[in-house]
Chains A and B, each alone.
Chain A
Amino acid sequence: MHKSSIIDIISPIMAGPSSSHTAGAVRLGLLAKNVYNTVPHKITFKLYNSYARTGLGHGTDKGLLAGILGFSVDDERIKTVFETPEAKSLNYEFEFLEDFNRHPNAVDFVFEGELNMKISGNSVGAGEIELTKINDFQTKLDGKYNTVFTVYKDVPGVISKVTGLIQEDNVNIASLHCDRSAKGRDASMCICIDGDLSKNCLNVLTNFSDMYVVRYIKKLES
């Protein structure tokens, strides 16, 4: 996986006070926004454990919202995000919960709108994050790779069709992670790639039969 670089040690430039509770929260929001990819009617942020207990003192709530609005980790507006016009035009609420089965810094984004979606993630330390679940599907999204996420009908040949298409685009697959709800029902694929997919490739992919959801999630800036 991603090797640590001097750049990781002397960055990021970020709004304080905590890499896990502030910068990590922004990055979780940014990645969740890219996955949902459309404007929701409402978002509920569910903060768990340490995120719930110390989140307000660390601006975790502000960070999560700022990420959803597309602000970067060093955006001066994070501190006053609730007062921004972007936030005022959004319907959102926060819940503070405890669940010992979840990571200390866990969050759920519950999107309601034309598409309902629940995205779960953790802030795992030093600003690093992971999205672990999209609806009922296990995922492995850490924002370090451009990633194709799809939900499709669990029938033979879909994985081969999708990976074949990516190969035709001359792009290398770094990792592939699949999950399904039940045999023959909905399944999901999370494909991390090196480089970038062409628009054409994404168009073809989106129009495949048996595809319910196709998202191209760009990697986050480090």
Chain B
Amino acid sequence: MDNINTFRQLYLACKENNKRIYEVALDYEVSQGEYSEYQIRLQAKKSLDAMVEAIKTGLKSTELSPSGFSGNDCDKLQKRYEKSTSVLGCVAQKIMTYALATSEQNLRMGKIVACPTAGSCGIVPAVLIAYAEEFNISETDMINALITAGEIGKLVSEKMALAGAVGGCQAECGVASAMASAALTQMRGGNVKQIINASTLALKNILGLTCDPVCGLVEIPCVKRNPFLAIHAVTASELAMADIISKIPADEVVDAMEQTGKLMSPLLKESSQGGLAKTKTAISLEKNIGSFVKY
């Protein structure tokens, strides 16, 4: 089987064989000899189960993180939605709640799925599971959607490492959002072009997002960024389903992202030496945190 290292190659392989993205992605991986289709589907199923579990546990908990900075926002959001409905409707409401639930589970050392990373762990599950619940999507279709998302993340990772220290948050939450938009578009029955466009639009709109965590912890701004970028993924899918296309093709957007990551100052790439991490409030939080973070 020919190499599939770019979005262009993925698109052509789908078109040529009249297959969906997850089918071509599976064919390709199997042809590489490292994993069988069964192994990949089994991991996807395990990851999906762990995502559901993290949401369930996260929805019920108000336990704060070791720093005490966060941990009770999902509870606040749920209480609000008991009284009033989101202006975006109940799917979006569920997506935001699930993203916070997962993200808060992460900071209290709960079990989550790094998808693609731990800091961005709330985005893909929120969009995938909230939509599947509301629209009665079967487990097999959810797994196909997760594999589709995985293929998008993999193609980006061929060009750049998915790590805040390398590419800023565009490479973590940004890529998670692109993956989530692909999963959503797959579940909605979007065609291959629409799925690739959804992830391209999501990625394009998040170029340059910095990684400047306060006190070096995966908390501020990471936790709240998860519900934001989950909804961002929905916007991308909405546009793509209307056949709105990205004028800049997917592979060029990834190139731009890689270049942007390189141009970004190291102060803004997970080093906590700039941006939000060096604000007056962040510095004072850093002083108070001294009691538990030894040096």
- Tell me the number of A-to-B contacts counted with CB atoms below 8 Å: 159
Contact in complex: B218, A126 (CB < 8 Å) = no
At the interface, yes or no: A174 with Cβ under 8 Å from chain B? no
Contact among A16, A54, A127 with B121 in the assembled complex (CB-CB below 8 Å):
A16
At the interface, yes or no: A23 with Cβ under 8 Å from chain B? yes
Residues of chain B within 8 A of A62, CB atoms compared = 109
- Given A14-B112, A15-B111, A59-B109, A126 and B29 touching (CB < 8 A)? no
At the interface, yes or no: A200 with Cβ under 8 Å from chain B? no
Compute how far the CA of A127 lies from the CA of B289 in the bound complex, rounded to whole angstroms.
25
Residues of chain B within 8 A of A96, CB atoms compared = 294-295
Q: Using C-beta atoms within 8 Å of the partner chain, give the interface range for chain B.
A: 35 or more
Total A residues in contact with B, Cβ cutoff 8 Å? 40
| Closest chain A residue to B34, Cβ basis | A5
| Closest chain B residue to A7, Cβ basis | B43
Compute how far the CA of A126 lies from the CA of B153 in the bound complex, rounded to whole angstroms.
13
At the interface, yes or no: A6 with Cβ under 8 Å from chain B? yes
Compute how far the CA of A50 lies from the CA of B165 in the bound complex, rounded to whole angstroms.
12
At the interface, yes or no: A74 with Cβ under 8 Å from chain B? yes
Of B7-15, B93-101, B142-150, the one contacting chain A is: B142-150
Residues 54-66 of A, flagged 1 when their CB comes within 8 A of B and 0 if not, give: 1111110010000
At the interface, yes or no: B151 with Cβ under 8 Å from chain A? yes
User: From residue 43 to 82 of chain A, which have CB atoms closer than 8 A to chain B?
Assistant: 50, 52-59, 62, 74, 76, 78-79
Contact among A54, A59, A104, A127 with B215 in the assembled complex (CB-CB below 8 Å):
A54
At the interface, yes or no: B161 with Cβ under 8 Å from chain A? yes
Contact in complex: B66, A57 (CB < 8 Å) = yes
Which interface residue of B29, B124, B165, B292 has the most chain A CB atoms within 10 A? B165
Contact in complex: B162, A53 (CB < 8 Å) = no
Residues of chain B within 8 A of A13, CB atoms compared = 46-47, 50, 111-113
Contact in complex: B153, A9 (CB < 8 Å) = yes
Contact in complex: B114, A19 (CB < 8 Å) = yes
Residues 15-41 of A, flagged 1 when their CB comes within 8 A of B and 0 if not, give: 111111011000000000000000000
Residues of chain B within 8 A of A126, CB atoms compared = 114, 116-117, 161-163
Residues of chain B within 8 A of A88, CB atoms compared = none
At the interface, yes or no: A199 with Cβ under 8 Å from chain B? no
| Closest chain B residue to A125, Cβ basis | B163
Compute how far the CA of A70 lies from the CA of B121 in the bound complex, rounded to whole angstroms.
25
Compute how far the CA of A196 lies from the CA of B114 in the bound complex, rounded to whole angstroms.
29
Residues of chain B within 8 A of A14, CB atoms compared = 111-114, 118
Residues of chain B within 8 A of A104, CB atoms compared = 165, 271
| Closest chain A residue to B53, Cβ basis | A13
| Closest chain A residue to B50, Cβ basis | A13
Residues of chain A within 8 A of B64, CB atoms compared = none
Q: Which residues of A contact B (CB under 8 A)?
A: 3-20, 22-23, 50, 52-59, 62, 74, 76, 78-79, 96, 98, 104, 125-127
The 5 nearest A-B residue pairs measured at CB: A16-B106, A54-B216, A6-B150, A9-B153, A125-B163
15 pairs across A/B with beta carbons < 8 Å?
A: A4-B154, A9-B153, A15-B109, A16-B106, A23-B118, A50-B216, A52-B295, A55-B293, A59-B109, A79-B110, A98-B295, A125-B166, A126-B114, A126-B116, A126-B117
